[in-house]
């Protein structure tokens, strides 16, 4: 029996583990892949406090993981299949085990949202990508497109411009949601071309991507962008399917919880991108993790 089981090993889960273990609690982190989540695949992190220079996301993730382990948190590479969290004893079912705890922190994060256009599914891994920092180096000297208008889309375009000959930035509006500083950098980069008021309609190719068809939403005019890569950056989808009906969710699927990170279920907290909030960044996920573990500690008193 654990004091806390944390589902998810991103920055929220790792920070929750650090605070829980340092508080003397028996902590288990269940993570299906690798520590760090999306942070670990970020090429560089510029805005995490305490680093004068950019820090690779993988390094930041590893440091958090090492710190949590040193403090006594236990980690297992397990995919949770079922959450049984309404009783005093919470049970998390994996393929081969049932783990029990008195409190749970839900920190499963979010996954990239898909476009839902023709050809997208066909070319995943053959030109369609949801992670520019993971796959950008494969497109050295190529023409690519980034679809989206938020911070991630602008960051992806700027990152890809290091490798690629041309980067088309396709956005359905004529203004961006992204930070002004990122937009300005993209405007000043002669490798980046804005394709505004437009949306991708079809991804084409034989064995790999060779064309993205875009349509101008105002004029209805279509054009073929000759690209070998399409990078999708249109937001995230919270990983909450397994807790739907077990904790309260909002209309977008995020867990309803305030700054105390408490869900509607006693002893169950949530942290990071999975929670209803205005800002989803590494630093806010880490803050949630600390708050969630503190909430667990109070609950266990």
User: Is 296 noted as a catalytic residue in this protein?
Assistant: no
User: Is 261 noted as a catalytic residue in this protein?
Assistant: no
> What values do phi and psi take at 127, rounded to 5?
130, -25
Q: Is the alpha carbon torsion for 250, 86, 102, 296 positive or negative?
A: positive
Catalytic residue chosen out of the listed positions 131, 197, 210, 248: 131
Catalytic residue chosen out of the listed positions 86, 134, 250, 260: 134
SS3 239: coil
For residue 208, CA distances in Å to 101, 119, 125, 230, 285 come to: 47, 10, 9, 11, 36
**Cα 171 to chain centroid, rounded:** 20
> What values do phi and psi take at 19, rounded to 5?
-70, -40
Each residue of 132-146: b (16+ CB within 10 Å) or e?
bbebbeebeebbbbb
User: Is 131 noted as a catalytic residue in this protein?
Assistant: yes
Q: What positions carry a catalytic annotation?
A: 131, 134-135
């Amino acid at each position: 029996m654990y004091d806390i089981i944390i589902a998810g090993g991103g920055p929220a889960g790792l920070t929750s583990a650090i605070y829980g273990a340092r508080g003397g609690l028996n902590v288990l982190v269940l993570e299906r892949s690798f520590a760090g989540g999306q942070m670990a695949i970020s090429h560089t992190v510029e805005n995490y406090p305490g680093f004068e220079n950019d820090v690779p996301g993988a390094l930041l993730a590893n440091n958090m993981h090492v710190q949590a382990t040193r403090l006594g948190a236990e980690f297992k590479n397990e995919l949770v299949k079922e959450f049984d969290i309404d009783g005093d004893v919470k049970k998390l079912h994996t393929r081969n085990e049932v783990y029990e705890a008195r409190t749970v922190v839900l920190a499963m994060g979010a996954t990239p949202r898909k476009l839902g256009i023709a050809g997208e599914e066909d070319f995943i891994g053959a030109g369609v990508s949801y992670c520019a920092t993971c796959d950008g180096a494969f497109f050295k000297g190529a023409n690519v497109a980034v679809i989206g208008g938020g911070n991630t889309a602008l960051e992806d375009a700027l990152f890809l411009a290091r490798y690629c000959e041309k980067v088309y930035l396709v956005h359905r509006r004529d203004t961006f949601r992204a930070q002004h500083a990122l937009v300005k950098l993209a405007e000043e980069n002669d490798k980046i071309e804005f394709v505004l008021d437009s949306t991708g309609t079809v991804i084409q190719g034989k064995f790999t991507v060779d064309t993205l068809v875009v349509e101008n939403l105002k004029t209805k005019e279509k054009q073929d962008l000759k690209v070998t890569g399409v990078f999708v950056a249109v937001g995230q989808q919270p990983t909450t399917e397994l807790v739907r009906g077990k904790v309260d969710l909002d209309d977008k699927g995020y867990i309803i919880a305030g700054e105390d990170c408490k869900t509607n279920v006693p002893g169950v907290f949530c942290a990071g991108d999975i929670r209803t909030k205005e800002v989803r960044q590494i630093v806010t996920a880490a803050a949630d993790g600390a708050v969630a573990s503190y909430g667990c500690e109070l609950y266990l008193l």
